Amino acid sequence: MSETQVATRYAKSIIDLAVEQSALELVKKDFELFIGTCRANPALQAILKNPIISLEKKANILDGLFGDKLHKMILSFFHIVIRKGRSEILYATAKEFITQYNIIKNVVKATVTSASPLSQQNITQIEEVVKQATKGEVILSAKVDPDLIGGFILKVGDKQFDTSLSSKLNKLRKEFEHN
């Protein structure tokens, strides 16, 4: 079974348990802390993936880092997964938990890429349009790519809305080449 499938199943189980214990928001914050720590410290991910490091040492490292910061359920989960020799999937499970949480809470992540920085008013307008279209909460990140020349590209989930001038020029170039 692939790492993604295992992580998905573990994340689903943790969500079910967190909902049952009325601790979903706490568990989400704890997984965000874990993900942030792993991103800031790639050595932690390397330790968790390293089969040479003993299971006990991995558990002690996580206890030392998160012992008093995480919900008991999360620490217990970490210990169970480590004991089973699957510590390499902890990070993937945490990311999958956030993904499934966002689905449950109807939180949509969107990215807008523009040729120049957007004003706060433009960002707010885009958020409102996405919010109306998805009927959910929107987390919008803005990026700048001068290669777009003008316009923007909006990605919402697996959908993309491209109004960039570079895209239009490429389409026009292909039409001329084809004809």
Other CB atoms within a 10 A radius of the CB of residue 100 amount to 15
Strands 159-162, 107-114: pairing kind: unpaired
Say what the pTM is: 0.78
Q: The domain 3-103: what is its CATH number?
A: 1.10.520.20
Reported confidence tier of residue 158, pLDDT bands at 50, 70, 90 = confident
Output DSSP code: residue 87. Answer: G
- For residues 136 and 153, is the Cβ–Cβ distance under 8 A? no
Residues 65-114: tens digit of each pLDDT:
998 899 899 999 999 999 999 999 999 999 999 999 999 999 999 999 98
For the chain, what are the domain ranges? Answer: 3-103, 107-178
With beta carbons less than 8 A apart as the criterion, state whether 114 and 152 touch: yes
Q: Residues 10-62: pLDDT tens digits?
A: 999 999 999 999 999 999 999 999 999 999 999 999 999 999 999 999 999 99
Level-2 CATH architecture, domain 107-178 = 3-Layer(aba) Sandwich (3.40)
